[in-house]
Structure 1
Amino acid sequence: MTTLYSRLPMALLASALPLLAQAAEPGKPIATPMAEGHMGGQLVQVLLGLLLVIGMIFVLAWLLRRVQQIGPRGGQVIKLVASQALGPRDRLVLVQVGSEQILLGLSAGRITPLHTLKEPVHVADTEAATPEFAQRLMELLGKDQKDKP
């Protein structure tokens, strides 16, 4: 009974025999698969594979954005109304829970309720709190889209 492992050395030896026979003849150059003109085809194959992978990344990113937007928007009970950075690790956050607004102080590893507002503060949708990075990115993307015809 022969197994795959016992047949493997024989298969490797059989595939190497033509190269060994060519190496035994001193005046004859050794033919390798790259020297036979397959390099152009392999390059095209690698480029197509790379383009396919990059395309898949963009498609998955697009799908991820679409799936995140499908979630319930109006059903959120807790909403972030405004945010103000006080330092590298400290910030003030105005949160609305139902009809009540609470001013929170956020610091390293700590959330402290500072004040409960009697009258809710109304902030326009354009002024709603967004993280600084996301806000800056949207500004840059908006500028790029305005520049294009």
Structure 2
Amino acid sequence: MKGMVRGITAVGALLVSEAVIAAAEPAAASTAAPGGLGAQLAQTVIGLLLVVGLIFFLAWLLRRMQGSAQQGAQVIEVIGTRAIGPRDRLLLVQVGKEQILIGHTPGSIEALHVLAEPVDVPASARQATPEFAQRLLELMGKDQKDKK
């Protein structure tokens, strides 16, 4: 997949360099022929639009390729979090059928306990938005239930 992106990028760079060379060549020739100013301007605008279009196309293609690679890779899921200090928190993580309690501090991440029996957490109890976003909505006086 990375090889494909590199190949597309190389083709894009080649097209951009050809557009720049093509735009530069008429500039030298237009000094001799004053009547070609409109044609030169049109060629420059078309070249610029081509380059901008190529950039947007490559960005779209890269997003599509990254999205397809991440869809099948969701084997780790954060079930719940709890802040135990300003920068320390506990995380309950599901990996396959196993649940692990993890301690997270700014300097380390440690597995504290592997649960023998997985905790059943209903879908309504799982936090759909990050903690900061939830608290910001609460402070602004908006409730998540209003959005649904």
Using structure 2 for the length normalisation, give the TM-score. Answer: 0.45
Q: Which has the larger radius of gyration?
A: 1
Using structure 1 for the length normalisation, give the TM-score. Answer: 0.45
